[in-house]
Amino acid sequence: MAEQPEHHDEDTTDVFDVEHLKKFVELMEAHDLSEIDLKAGGKKVRLRRGTPPAPVSYASPPPPPAAATPASTAGSDSAAAPTAESDHLAVIKSPMVGTFYSRPNPNAESFVKIGDMVEPETTVCIIEAMKVFNEIPAELRGKIVAVLVKDEEPVEFGTPLFKVDTSAV
């Protein structure tokens, strides 16, 4: 009777192994899933990923105190989030809850810095969630004009990370 829980714990460890979690993230991306809950034994984990590339303004989290009036940007076609300050400024937001990393490792240069040009597929940062390191693409073209988060700072879903001048293409 004592063998059964040990076998069950072994399975739980396998399900929550980093390689398995990475496969779940790939599965989420492949099927455009935004959230998945995993439960095994007494352990559970929730994986979340960002909204689809063409952001739509739903009931978003409240803007940070320094944000411009979001109502003025409601009609913007830009790939920017609703917190864009004008037609040519876009905001890259966090697609998930986690820890923000501006560089791939402590000895490396930042993925992007102020003045860098980015393309939609350009990795701008990493957000670590549940020991899974998620590369975050810019999803738009432009020039980085502000980095809004400090390295290793915790971020929430929708936290503004970068401001991008989309007219500098």
**Could you tell me if 90 and 160 lie in one domain?**
yes
Determine, yes or no, domain membership for 29: yes
Structural domain span for residue 84? 70-168
CA distances for 153 relative to 56, 148, 156, 165, angstroms? 26, 11, 10, 24
Count of structural domains within the chain? 2
The predicted model gives 36-51 an average pLDDT of: 71
Percent of the chain with pLDDT over 70: 66
**Could you tell me if 98 and 155 lie in one domain?**
yes
Q: Residue 135 has what pLDDT?
A: 93
Determine, yes or no, domain membership for 56: no
Residue 113 has pLDDT above 80, yes or no: yes
Give the CATH number for residue 77: 2.40.50.100
Q: Residue 69 has what pLDDT?
A: 41
Residue 68 has pLDDT above 50, yes or no: no
Q: How confident is the model at residue 43 (pLDDT cuts 50, 70, 90)?
A: confident
Residue 1 has pLDDT above 60, yes or no: no
Read off φ and ψ for residue 47, nearest 5 degrees: -105, 130
**Could you tell me if 113 and 38 lie in one domain?**
no
Sign of the torsion formed by the C-alpha atoms of 104, 117, 160 and 92: negative
